[in-house]
Structure 1
């Protein structure tokens, strides 16, 4: 656009009026072009979130209980958000690859992850590319794992006390599997075996599906894991020696906890949804509300019941405080077990 700069005094009154109007219109257009995109873009972004599919990282392989639960949450949240929530399986590194991905993810709400307990623990054991307090946005806690110690039906022990006696008589000969080094099932048994004064050989697997294949195939006699074992225990194919929570699970009321069996070990593991640091609070609120609503979905609740996972809800602020508190508690546990990074 060009603006005529002919001096007004050299033209007629009508021409001058016309010139003034053109000049004012031109300046208004320039100002509008300078200022409109910023506020229009901002309002558009706020009004349209979400406007494309959201990726939700499940840091475990497909086929296990964690995968099934995350897919149930994703499907339910998709209906509330009006866009697809796509589960992206990234197994390995003790369930921390989702948190690792958040470090370089844009904080726009389109990349999220499950936050298992290992996210707060492993940075104390080895160098990790993220700080769970500084580098993550805690959106909502939704549920938690129930852990158990399970044996094959042909194992030479039928109770936890019998397993401890056998391990003491055969030091180093009892092998147990878990979902990976540094995961909660692994460290729970390390703490238990330390208190029981026994030596167990740990065999890590990449996830619960692989772990279940190993024990059903007879490659290991004992496993520590979440309740993907539950259907097989009910079918009489595996034996549940003890659960690791504060109280007995309602699914197996006759099975004692590890603490009831004589060793002061309690392991509980809430988890929820997180994103990168620096997320817009308005976007966090939209995501929080959508995932909170999943806890009212009968299909989600049925999936949680199938894997004996209770509803453990925490809102954004409470979940953020939980993350900071748990990070420090895990530091103490790792130092006590002598597993802190050098």
Structure 2
């Protein structure tokens, strides 16, 4: 009887063990990750500069991970629709995506219903953007100094087009205006493309955008007054930065890649390792150079620390620029 009882007990343990395995969540078997294709959410329209850079990264990372990475564009709300989709996804490593650094601002302005300090697993910071101020060749502003002088003489009269209230182009330009002691007339558009068209058509005095002006500057259809990076760009090395002009303002709005919070550590490591290879690859660097996106790699934990620092800085900027009030006015 003892042998029969032991046998039944063993069978029971085996049965319960098998059932427990079936009840484990799909992401528990992290050692086998990835065993199927990965979805990558890009929060911007297909074909844009951000989309191009993310596709280049995904192409290299997929070879490292030995699984396809399908890029899905979920654009809208200045990138916040895609960011929310990433935060809300299952933390199994099969849904990752681009996280714009503007999550630190829009979460505080109420556009993003997520806390960027706690609701994401950060995997890599990738590259920045080249922002600049451009005018028509016929503009009386031959330099940034000319524009500042005109704005001081005519407060609130000099206009500039930007891609939306609270976005990097709007906030960056207003931060510069504060540093320069001038008041400008900000004209909000639903994206950089319509702002560019109105600048070319003479509807606004200046365009503020991230490198959409580049081919038009090279073609002589626009004049570049300043760029906003820490250093001058290789492509437009004759153009001064805001810092060169004496204003301690740097805006490069670096993007990164993340996943929902709660990612298993072994899965997180595999993704971070793959993305490190991808960002440092010649393939990605070639695309980054073509779209004027300086490579600004940080590993996941360092990127997370950077996000927290930017969040605190944005809190102060929102208060100084009264961004909440501006958003309420539309």
Q: TM-score, normalised by structure 2?
A: 0.87
Match of 2:256 in 1: 272
Aligned equivalents of 2:48 and 2:145: distance in 1? 29
Q: CA deviation at 1:52?
A: 2.6
Residues 138 and 320, structure 1, Cα contact 8 Å, conserved in 2: yes
- Unmatched 5+ stretches in structure 2: none
Counterpart position of 2:109: 125
1:244-266 superposed Cα distances (whole Å, 9 cap, x missing partner): 12222222121111232233322
Rounded Cα–Cα distance in structure 2 between residues aligned with 1:75 and 1:217: 38
Contact 1:91 1:207 in 2 (8 A): no
The Cα offsets for residues 178-215 of structure 1, whole Å up to 9 and x where unpaired, read as: 23221212111011123333333323334444544444
Is 1:189 aligned with 2:173? yes
Q: CA 1:172 to 1:336, structure 2 compared with 1: closer, same or farther past 3 Å?
A: closer
Does 2:70 correspond to 1:62?
Answer: no
- Look up the SS of the partner of 1:228 in the other structure: coil
Where in structure 1 are there 5+ consecutive unaligned residues?
1-7, 9-16
Equivalent of residue 158 in structure 2, options 168, 174, 177: 174
> Could you tell me which of 4, 10, 13 is aligned with 1:31?
13
- When residues 171 and 142 of structure 1 are mapped into structure 2, their CA distance, relative to the original with a 3 A threshold, is same
Shift of 1:77: 1.6
Q: Which moved more, 1:281-290 or 1:27-36?
A: 27-36
Write out aligned runs for 1:1-342 (5 A).
Answer: 20=3, 24-39=6-21, 45-126=29-110, 128-340=112-324
CA distance 1:39–1:258, change in 2 (3 Å) = same
| Secondary structure at 2:88 match in 1 | coil
Q: Contact 1:94 / 1:181 at 8 angstroms: preserved in 2?
A: no
C-alpha distance in 2 between matches for 1:64 and 1:191: 26
User: Within 2, Cα distance between the matches of 1:216 and 1:76?
Assistant: 37
Q: Distance in 2 between matches of 1:67 and 1:216?
A: 25
Cα RMSD (Å): 2.6
- In the alignment, the residues of structure 1 paired with residue 39 and residue 113 of structure 2 have an alpha-carbon distance, to the nearest angstrom, of 20
Q: Tell me the distance in 1 between the aligned counterparts of 2:226 and 2:211.
A: 12
Moved more, 144-153 or 45-54: 45-54
Output the CA distance in 2 between the equivalents of 1:205 and 1:84.
36
Distance 1:142 1:88, change over 3 A: same
- The 3-state SS of whatever aligns with 1:329 is helix
- Offset at residue 50 of structure 1 (A): 1.8
Cα distance, 1:44 vs structure 2: 7.5
Contact 2:109 2:324 in 1 (8 A): yes
Mapped to 2, the partners of 1:299 and 1:204 lie a distance apart of 35
Quick one: distance in 2 between partners of 1:231 and 1:55? 32
Point out the more displaced range, 270-279 or 27-36.
27-36
Q: Secondary structure at the match of 2:29?
A: helix
Mapped contact 1:61–1:206 kept (Cα < 8 A) = no
Structure 1 runs of 4+ aligned residues shifted over 6 Å read: none
Cα gap change, 1:122/1:143 in structure 2, threshold over 3 Å: closer, same or farther? Answer: same
Matched residues, number? 324
Alignment partners' CA distance in 1, 2:312 and 2:269: 27
